[in-house]
A and B are shown apart, each in its own frame.
Chain A
Amino acid sequence: MTMIGVDVGGTFTDVVAIEGGEIRTIKVATEARTEEGVIAGAREAGVENATVFNHASTHGLNAVITRKLPKIAFLTTLGHRDILDAGRTWRPAEALTDAHWRRPYGDAARPLVARYLRRGIRERITADGGILIPLDEDQARAELEVLRRCEVEGVAICLINSYVSAHHEERLRDLVHEVLGPVPCSISSEVSPLAKEFARSSTTVIDVFMRIIYDGYTSRLDAGLRAEGFTGQLNYANCAAQLVSADIAVEHPYEIVFAGPAAGTMASAYFGSLIDTPNLLCADVGGTSCDISLVTDGAPSVDTTFELEHDLIVNALSNEIVSIGAGGGSLVTVSPAGELLVGPGSAGSVPGPACYGRGGTQPTTTDTMLLMGIIDPDGFAGGRMQLDPDLARRAFQDLDSPLSFDQRVNYAFRVGVNNVAEGLFNVAVKHGIDPRDYSLLAFGAAGPMLLPATLGLVHAKEVVVPPHPGLFSALGLVSSDQVYGDSRSAYTILEPGAAESIEKVYAQMEDRLKQRFGDRGGDAKFVRTFDALLMGQSWETPFVTIPDGPITADTVHQMIANFHDVYQQRTGNRFEALPVQGVTYRVEAVFPAAKVEYPKLPARDSGGPESSRELEIRYLTDEPLVALEYQRVDLRAGDELAGPAVVREPLSTTFVPPGHHLTVGTYGELHIRLGGTP
């Protein structure tokens, strides 16, 4: 009985194999043909014994980012072909006074679908579902002939107001198949029947891209795994890191495009539940960024949409992640005023930090940590890579800065730590939480190195370093349940008379879901929620709960009351005099799945942990500090150490700053708190 989780990143593919109480982790290079790397990792993990194979893929995401995309067409209502270029129009705050800014997916930059392949179809449905202009089939056929000549590989269809009436979209899809044959074709009324045409269009376009990309990928992967003797269940993780059976996932592949980052939050939430720590600020610090997410009372903070690029929205539930440019590869630079800056630019993996010796000449956070003595030049990345402190030193010397050398390294460390601290603090303030009620969960290769030093700035309860921090995200793939959801918009003023129409919306979605999972459904329990607004507002308050059972006049009263409660809880205000308008109705069915079991670490009978050697930590204070180095594998539950100390393991280093102490927990996790002695 083995469970396998695979997280495909840009450079490395992380594989975790869980067997009994044992967790094995494997890192293989991501191959140009992604499935080859995945299958190689699966082979190494012993896939023939696996019952489940859970997969988070960045394959589709990378295709969007690099624009290595199939050629598809976008059909919409005549007069609206530029929906996809205009987006929601706003520009990011940092471009407020920048006349050179261009919308990243606009025609002036890198469009997803060129304008000549975005074509208007003569038809018009009104907001109440009426037909102002009937679908002109002759005109549609003529447009499709143009696309046939252009040899498009797929078609996305989003007509104005199709969230109210799907009729024209369905007929148009028939015509697409009639003229173009069996090309992948998604219609927005099926993919994401939510109001607001831009998000629905972009979601549908992404869906068609992913159908083309994942269709071939999934069949190749499945065949490859079967050839290795795999007989179990293949699942994908979606953008909320919940699992979806692969055959169902490929029907709505836009939901799996952003799974990788979400998995870390899910791993955190699950591990937090094991150690009785339900409130977490999670920080996944890798080479280029620090991804921050929030878990409250055991539940990840979830958004109703996510952005692939500025304003390129996909309508999928996703774990809310704030990414800041603070990772191991973050560049140390000097501003014109002489201020030392760390990030947001990154050296990436090529050329990488100066100490990698791959031609990088600018110092990075990794160089800082190396010069300070926190990173071991001989033990980096499991000892596979030798780092050169002289190159790091030269990079710092070459900075055009008024600061002395010692100050440069010291500032680079403190600014790097401060950036992460401000990012964490920012998320806390935004959500109105008090960091003192939260633990910081530190993972990603660079997380355990940076996070403990933020404690004095963030005032969180503690830092927790989980087992396998370098591969912890991938463990999120064996930490969640199977979840199937659907959603639909229908603007409805909530009043007793609306009960019947609302019930109908839910019943339709639930019927459709039941068809999707067929005999796997069994006695699936559906959970209903809705998004609503106060009349006059233009944005919704999402995830308001609904009492069980069919919707009656009484239920509607309860829905209104629940809305006011949630609104008050989130904004501090209550406006009972204003009517409530239901906008989007959501339903979810949950099937419990097997999860990773973390082995418990025994305690020691007597004595304490033995340090492997003494280290010198430089540049942190005026004189170098003496710190003890420990190997994580030597630690036992209940062990305690005082900072300054360094704990090493193959893919990560934990730095316990002076004035902090560390306690080893039941599962071998490291708890670091402020205070000199335990």
Chain B
Amino acid sequence: MSDTKALRDLTDEEFAARYHADRFTAGVLGNRMRYVVDHMCAGLLNNAFSSILRDWYDFGATIAGPPEQDYQMSTVSNSLAVFLGTMGDAVRNTIEEYGPDEVEEGDIIIANDPYRVGNHVNDMCFIRPVFHEGRIITFVTIRAHQLDMGGVVPAGFSATKRNSYENGLVISPMRLYVKDKPVRSTFNLIFDNARMAALLYPDMKSIYQALLLAERLILESVARYGVDAYLGAISYTCDASAEAMSTALRESIPDGVYEAEEGIDADGVDDSITYQLKIRIAKHGDRVEVDLSGTSEQARTSVNATALDAKTAIAVGIKMLIDQTTPFNSGSFRNIDVVVPPGTICSATPPDGCVFLYWESTMPVLQAVYRALSKVLGVNAVGGDYGSLMLHNANGVTEDGTPWTTVAECGGEHGPWGATKAGDGDSYMVAQLINNIDPATEAIEANSPVVVLRKEYAADTSGAGENRGGASVRRDTLYLRDAEHWSSPLHTKKPSGVGAYGGRDGVAQACWMFTPESFDIAQTQDLLGTGPEVYAASQPIAGVLDPETKVLDPAGEYHYFASTPIWRTSPRTIFRYQTGGGGGWGDPLDRDPERVKRDVRDEYLTIEGAYRDYGVRVVGSPLTHPEELTVDTEATERRRAEMRAAR
């Protein structure tokens, strides 16, 4: 903004001079842009073939201004948060490289290089220039996950790829459509290098149709309100979000410097390196500088993220904390400066800084923002979520030789959120940087020879607090056939569920395997138990565990997730995943004993856990007489006084 006068204080004349529209028209056009983006998404969702688009919302849609407005992104879809911040740069970088003067009416330009456009190679950008009377007035863009983009691992999801050559096909900005006709050579380039081309094609057609719809809707609005008002509304929409962020920064965070560290256990080569993420947040007035200097060098396998992804996680993290409801757009970044040296796990460079599971590096960025600001935000601080997807992929063949595969549904993909001032955390959520529909157990079992035996919350795992975090999710999956498994629990060394405002951290994550020799369901006719005695017979996959009992123990020994890169198992093997617990909010000793009693009744806490973590003495038998529990008030007061005194 050229001057600092608040938007609401502008006179009608000043407003019209700046935005070439009255307030009503600018507001209507801003709304219309949100609708247009929604329609692009709906058009894609209703027609998408691949379930990764449909159920994981693994796409984003945006409207951006023309080159002379520096491509500012006025509107972005509420699909996946990991796309919110990369889309604006993706459009600018792609068109600037391609040459804005070379772009013609009827083009679709594509690009997918993570180092240029963020995210990973499967997330292809499809950019449509919209022309009005011979000049570009806007770009409409869809970025959508393609099922396969070549590379050494089918579908791509792996922590073990070592460079951009193994990773998949990189497409520099080029045309997919010219004058609204498909470009044969571009389609062939993709189809010759990617698997499952027959399934990619229908999604690409749907994307093209959705872009045409957006173009038509925008041109209708331009016809009604005029091109100057339309362009003015793009600026206005961005300015409104920038102003909201500026206000939130000024009012919610005291000036100062705040630091935190997070990490990733290891990469896919070996466990010789623990990767550190350092964050330094310097806030002054209505601006903030977030510096990731000191963060570890890029990993040797595909767990890295690009700087654009780190930038996204920072902005989303700050919004989650202080400005939840303003629509996200280019303006959201205006008062946030990001500093990150090249070649770190959050700013990887080609060809060796391979980028695929980028969220495993940016989810710690989000946690680090929470951790750094936890103390100064007071009641507005937010407990961390489960922090890592712990992806599990497996495949094999059925009795008649038909291949089956399960991708990202039988590990620790879903888990708890942290507590906030709004209340306890939910226990079964999608990580805050993403969003999806969880596949039903019955759908998983109808498609693959697996049995999801348990998908249930574990007691005494949530971060304690006046409001407690969500509980860890314990998921046991029984594999009925011979199978190969890739497992990626990357954050077991420290809990991800950061406590806030005096709340405690949740427990760390871990994963175990039980062969039929150690536990055979055919023989026991029962589920694998949940007590501490069951783990000694297991093969740990990942986690910091007691050397003898193999239960979670922060002082125990680390088990490296890729010690065996591919686990090959015989029938009736069980994998148990336990996600991290959500962070607590507020002092646990301030939690109303009645709420603690209710948690014991509901088995979120055991009687012992209630005493240890909350100082509340609950009396009774929760399993058999859940409504007859009582609180021993005297013992509780005594215990709480002791705990306070011991601080």
| CB-contact partner of A161 in B11, B382, B445, under 8 A | B445
The answer to whether the Cβ of A638 comes within 8 Å of any Cβ in the partner chain is: no
Contact indicator B8/A338 (Cβ below 8 Å): yes
Minimum Cβ distance to chain A for residue B215 (Å)? 13
Closest to B439 in A: A538
Which residue of chain A has its CB nearest to the CB of B247?
A336
Contact (Cβ within 8 A) A197 B440: yes
B470 near A108 with CB under 8 A, answer yes
- Answer whether residue A160 sits at the interface, using C-beta atoms and an 8 A cutoff: yes
Asked if B35 lies at the interface with its beta carbon under 8 angstroms from chain A, I say yes
Residue of A with least CB distance to B623:
A146
- A337 interfacial by beta-carbon distance below 8 Å: yes
Please pick, from B382, B442, B604, B625, the residue contacting A163 in the complex, using a CB distance under 8 A. B442
The distance in angstroms between the C-alpha atoms of A297 and B627, with both chains bound, is 56
* Complex contacts, B54 vs chain A, CB 8 Å: 537-539
- Are the C-beta atoms of B445 and A127 separated by less than 8 Å? yes
Judge whether A109 is part of the interface by a CB distance below 8 angstroms: yes
Query: Per-residue CB proximity of B416-445 to A under 8 Å, as 1/0?
Result: 011011111111111010011111111101
Which size class do B's interface residues fall under? Answer: 35 or more
In the complex, the answer to whether A97 meets B423 with C-beta atoms within 8 Å is no
Q: Is the CB of B527 within 8 A of A429?
A: no
Bound-state CA distance A402–B38 (Å) is: 30
Partner of A90 from the list B206, B382, B422, B435 (CB cut-off 8 Å) is B435
Name which of B114-122, B316-324, B342-350 contacts chain A: B316-324
- Tell me if A586 counts as interface (CB < 8 A to partner B): no
Q: Contact between A106 and B426 (Cβ–Cβ < 8 Å)?
A: yes
- Residue on A nearest B602 in the bound complex, by CB: A115
CB distance from A337 to the nearest CB of B (A): 4
Q: Is the CB of B38 within 8 A of A82?
A: no
Give chain A's interface residue range (CB within 8 Å of chain B). Answer: 35 or more
Q: What is the CB-to-nearest-CB distance from B456 to chain A, in angstroms, rounded to a whole number?
A: 5
Is B627 in contact with A150, judged by CB distance below 8 angstroms?
yes
Cβ–Cβ contact B456 & A82, under 8 A:
yes
Cα(A86)–Cα(B429), bound, Å: 7
- Bound-state CA distance A132–B478 (Å) is 11
When the two chains form the complex, which single residue of B26, B239, B428 contacts A85, counting CB atoms closer than 8 Å? B428
Q: Using CB atoms, name the residue of chain A closest to B625.
A: A149
Q: Select one of A96, A133, A337, A571 contacting B46, CB under 8 A.
A: A571
Give chain A nearest CB distance to B212 CB in angstroms: 12
Task: Jot down 19 A-B pairs with beta carbons below 8 A, ordered by A.
Answer: A86-B428, A99-B417, A100-B324, A100-B422, A106-B426, A116-B601, A122-B526, A149-B625, A195-B446, A337-B6, A338-B8, A411-B23, A414-B24, A415-B27, A425-B35, A536-B50, A538-B51, A538-B443, A573-B206
Chain B residues with CB under 8 A of A451 = none
Tell me the bound Cα distance from A197 to B27 in angstroms. 43
Residues of A with C-beta under 8 A to B422? 100-102
- Nearest Cβ in chain B — how far from A482, in angstroms? 33
Residue in contact with B39 in the complex, picked from A81, A198, A430, CB distance below 8 Å: A430
Task: Verify A99–B626 contact, CB threshold 8 A.
Answer: no
Question: A88: which B residues are within 8 A, CB to CB?
Answer: 437-438, 440
Bound complex: CA A161 to CA B325 (Å) = 40
Q: Roughly how many angstroms separate A402 CA and B320 CA in the complex, as a whole number?
A: 30
Tell me the chain B residues, 44-66 only, with Cβ under 8 Å from chain A: 46-47, 49-51, 54-55, 57
A127 touches B202 (CB 8 A): no
Q: In the complex where A99-B418, A402-B9 touch, is A571 in contact with B243 (Cβ < 8 A)?
A: no
| Residues B442 and A161 in contact, CB atoms below 8 Å apart | yes
**Are A571 and B47 touching (Cβ within 8 A)?**
yes
Q: Mark B603-642, 1 if CB is under 8 A from A, else 0.
A: 1100000000000000000111111100000000000000
Residues of B within 8 A of A115 (CB): 602-604
Interface residues of B in 427-478 (CB under 8 A from A): 427-430, 432, 435-443, 445-446, 451, 453-457, 470, 476
Question: Does A612 count as interface, using CB distance less than 8 angstroms?
Answer: no
* Set of chain A residues within 8 Å of B626, measured between Cβ atoms: 116, 146, 150
The proximity string for B residues 312-335 relative to A, scoring 1 for CB distances below 8 Å and 0 otherwise, is 000010011100110010000000
Instruction: Compute how far the CA of A337 lies from the CA of B241 in the bound complex, rounded to whole angstroms.
Output: 9
Q: Assess whether B199 is interfacial by the CB under 8 Å rule.
A: yes
Q: Are A82 and B427 in contact (CB under 8 A)?
A: yes
A91 CB contacts on chain B under 8 angstroms: 429-430, 435
| A565 interfacial by beta-carbon distance below 8 Å | no
**A403 interface residue, CB < 8 Å from B?**
yes
Is A90 within 8 A of B436, CB to CB? yes
Give the Cβ gap from B353 to chain A, nearest Cβ, in Å. Answer: 28
Q: Do the beta carbons of A336 and B244 come within 8 Å of each other? A: yes
Query: Which of chain A's residues have a CB closer than 8 A to the CB of B209?
Result: 572
A648 contacts the other chain (CB 8 A): no
Is the pair A426, B35 in contact by a Cβ cutoff of 8 Å? yes
Determine the chain B residues whose CB is within 8 A of the CB of A338 once the complex forms: 6-10, 23
Residue from B6, B240, B319, B438 within 8 A of A89 (CB atoms): B438
Q: Please, how many angstroms separate the alpha-carbon atoms of A198 and B440 in the complex?
A: 7
A100 touches B421 (CB 8 A): yes
Q: Kindly state whether residue A126 has any CB partner on chain B within 8 Å.
A: yes
Q: Which residues of the partner chain B approach A335 to less than 8 Å between Cβ atoms?
A: 240
Q: By the criterion CB–CB under 8 Å, are B424 and A79 in contact?
A: no
